[in-house]
């Protein structure tokens, strides 16, 4: 029977592959996790995705991506009146959890540099993969205030010492060349598709003259006391940023006070950073940033997310800042990074949510290839897609409402990056051929961003197998289920039967290939 199901599914895959633009595969040398396949796109061609369309109540739709080369391949199938195997996935309609905020990535200087090196037509094709009609429908986009490591050099918007009123504040050519044009393009494409794209931002560090070490890079505190002129000047710096971007027609949904503030404990930190302990961030918010945001109509409703740091900052940041009645009213939620997740269990998210319910919980930065021993892209590597899939499922299983990747596109080295802090990205640009390659990570993000929409509700998911992890969601009109299934077994495919507690008289019989990710969609 299992052989029949395998044949049926892969026969259907053969049929549907030719109903759309399929992945134009480029095969790379096998990696430690097996076959390595990228999807090549250029100005005139890129693979696309079938729309879900109307699904009858006796049918379900699968979208399959796998190590062996499936990339969002669609399969249409029907429920049956009998289970095919005893291993049953249970979707528990009666259990309701958090609402979804959305998924996305970041527009950095490096992203803009790479897009400008491609032809206009290829650059447009790339941006469309994230925000266009045939794309994956990103709902969130992060941007950088001034420079970060993913810039070509260090710069701020005001290098005039002790200009506390920011009279010499100016945007730079990086804003006008590498950020603003692509932010506007993302906003325009999203609006054309009926998507309200939410922008949020942060600075990696204030101008160097505000820090005790006198430079943007390297770990150090701000000068003076938290209620003093330097902290106030940093808030004014943000205010001026929002004002200048508003003049460009760009307004922000959210922000964080600073990026990875606890990394600033390290005096030898390689790139831009400032050390904010929880108490520093609390005082910065209550004395300066919070009140200053209230001064403009286009900033007074900004969602202020605290932390923007790895899990080890929580729940301390939340406890300290929300424990202050002057700081708490300005805070909308908590921002997490993924870089220490292997060593810090997700229980800290549970603790934070339990102690402080009703706040946004958002993963705001993640990328593969960041460890010292694995820097830069690994072309076609499915293992990194597995990492993305596992992390998103784990985080959302513990109450996180969205997940934001790092750079939209990097070059073949994993940059540019002024400190050579090279990493991987879902899309890698190849300038000599005026093309780009969609990495397996892109398709994991696509499974979530395209099908798990804002305000969907996570519902109960029970797996019969340690190799299988997943999530289930309920649509806003409560008629549709979206189920994510990640088969982590790299050696074997597995057959399962899926049953929904909302209708116990029908079954979805499934075969999941080894190292694969499947989205299953059906109506009740």
Q: Which residues are catalytic?
A: 260, 365
The sign of the CA dihedral 190, 441, 91, 335 is: negative
Residue 342 corresponds to which tokens in the numbers above? 């292997």
CA separation (Å) from 350 to 311, 389, 395, 396? Answer: 11, 20, 10, 11
Coil, strand, or helix at residue 289? Answer: helix
- 339's CB contacts (< 8 A; 6+ apart) are 310, 366, 370
- For the CA atoms of 33, 35, 36, 38, the dihedral, rounded to the nearest 10 degrees, stands at -130
Task: In whole angstroms, give the CA distance from residue 82 to residue 77.
Answer: 14
Residue 194 backbone zone (phi > 0: left; psi -120 to 50: alpha; other: beta): left
Tokens representing 196? 């309200």
Alpha helices of 308-381 — where are they, by DSSP H?
A: 316-322, 347-355
**Nearest residue to 259 (alpha-carbon basis) of 300, 223, 219, 212:** 219
**CA 180 to centroid of chain Cα atoms:** 20
Closest CA to 13 of 77, 60, 59, 56: 77
Rounded CA-CA distance 375/396 in Å is: 27
Report the distance separating Cα 211 and Cα 135, nearest Å.
Answer: 42
Enumerate residues 6+ apart whose C-beta is below 8 A from 359: 318, 331, 332, 333, 334, 353
């Amino acid at each position: 029977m299992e052989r029949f199901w395998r044949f049926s599914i892969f026969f259907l895959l053969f049929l549907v592959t030719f109903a759309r633009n399929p992945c134009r595969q480029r095969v790379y040398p096998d990696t430690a996790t097996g076959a390595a396949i990228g999807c090549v796109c250029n100005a005139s061609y890129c693979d696309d995705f079938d729309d879900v369309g109307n699904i009858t109540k006796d049918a379900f739709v699968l979208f399959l991506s796998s190590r062996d080369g499936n990339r969002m391949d669609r399969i249409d199938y029907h429920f049956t009146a009998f289970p095919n195997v005893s291993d049953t996935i249970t979707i528990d309609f009666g259990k309701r959890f958090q609402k979804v905020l959305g998924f996305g990535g970041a527009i950095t200087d490096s992203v803009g540099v790479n897009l400008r090196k491609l032809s206009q037509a290829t650059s447009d094709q790339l941006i469309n993969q994230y925000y266009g009609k045939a794309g994956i429908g990103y709902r969130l986009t992060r941007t950088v205030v001034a420079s970060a490591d993913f810039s070509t050099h260090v710069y701020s918007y005001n290098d005039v010492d002790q200009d506390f009123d920011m009279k010499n504040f100016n945007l730079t050519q990086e804003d006008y060349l590498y950020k603003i044009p692509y932010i506007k393009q993302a906003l325009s494409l999203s609006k054309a598709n009926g998507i309200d794209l939410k922008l949020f931002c942060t600075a990696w560090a204030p101008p160097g003259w505000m820090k005790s070490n006198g430079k943007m890079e390297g770990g150090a505190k701000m000068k003076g006391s938290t209620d003093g002129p330097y902290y106030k000047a940093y808030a004014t710096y943000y205010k001026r940023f929002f004002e200048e971007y508003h003049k460009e027609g760009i307004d922000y949904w959210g922000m964080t006070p600073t990026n990875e503030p606890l990394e600033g404990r390290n005096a030898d930190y390689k790139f831009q950073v400032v050390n904010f302990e929880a108490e520093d961030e609390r005082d910065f918010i209550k004395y300066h940033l919070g009140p200053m945001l209230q001064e403009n109509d286009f900033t007074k409703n900004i969602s202020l997310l605290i932390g923007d740091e790895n899990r080890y900052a929580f729940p301390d940041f939340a406890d300290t800042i929300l424990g202050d009645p002057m700081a708490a009213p300005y805070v909308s939620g908590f921002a997490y990074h993924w870089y220490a997740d292997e060593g810090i269990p997700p229980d800290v998210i549970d603790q934070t949510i339990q102690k402080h319910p009703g706040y946004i919980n958002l993963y705001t930065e993640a990328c593969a290839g960041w460890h010292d021993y694995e820097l830069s892209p690994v072309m076609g590597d499915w293992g990194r897609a597995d990492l993305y899939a596992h992390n998103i499922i784990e985080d959302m299983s513990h109450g996180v409402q969205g997940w934001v990747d790092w750079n939209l596109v990097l070059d073949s080295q994993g940059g540019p990056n002024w400190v050579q802090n090279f990493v991987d990205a879902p899309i890698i640009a190849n300038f000599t051929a005026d093309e780009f390659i969609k990495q397996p990570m892109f398709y994991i993000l696509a499974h979530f961003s395209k099908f798990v929409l804002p305000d969907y509700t996570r519902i109960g998911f029970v797996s019969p197998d340690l190799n299988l992890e997943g999530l289930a969601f309920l649509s806003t009109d409560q008629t549709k289920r979206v189920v994510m299934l990640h088969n982590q077994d790299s050696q074997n495919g597995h057959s399962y039967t899926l049953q929904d507690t909302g209708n116990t008289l029908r079954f979805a019989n499934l075969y999941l290939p080894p190292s694969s990710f499947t989205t299953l969609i059906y109506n009740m």
